[in-house]
């Protein structure tokens, strides 16, 4: 929550933990676990609060997101799972 406030100036109001990912490069960064959350509602309007760290923020289609150089090798599988789940919920 702190990171979202610092980076995007939003406060999550609806979210769920969806995965815990292990650090893929233990030799370089050590053994860490990353708790990944799906945020589906928030207060505030997302804006780039850290322009020295990020050139821009924007929404991506799933296809475009999968074409990016992502920070973790398991993100593509995770994104596809989220996309399938969101599609299924739209028809319920």
Q: What is the pLDDT of residues 42-54, one digit of tens each?
A: 999 999 999 998 8
The pLDDT tens digits of the residues spanning 57-82 come to 999 988 999 999 998 999 999 999 98
**Residue 23: φ, ψ to 5°:** -60, 125
pTM for the complete prediction?
A: 0.80
Contact call for residues 69 and 50 (beta carbons, < 8 A): no
Contact call for residues 43 and 10 (beta carbons, < 8 A): yes
């Amino acid at each position: 929550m702190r990171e979202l406030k610092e980076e995007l100036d939003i406060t999550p109001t609806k979210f769920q933990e969806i995965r815990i990912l292990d650090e893929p490069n233990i030799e370089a960064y050590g053994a860490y676990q990353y708790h990944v959350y799906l945020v589906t509602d928030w207060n505030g309007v997302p804006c780039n609060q850290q322009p020295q760290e990020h050139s821009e923020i924007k929404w991506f289609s799933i296809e475009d997101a999968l074409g990016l150089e992502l920070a973790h090798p398991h993100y593509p599988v995770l994104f596809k799972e989220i996309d399938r789940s969101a599609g299924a919920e739209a028809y319920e």
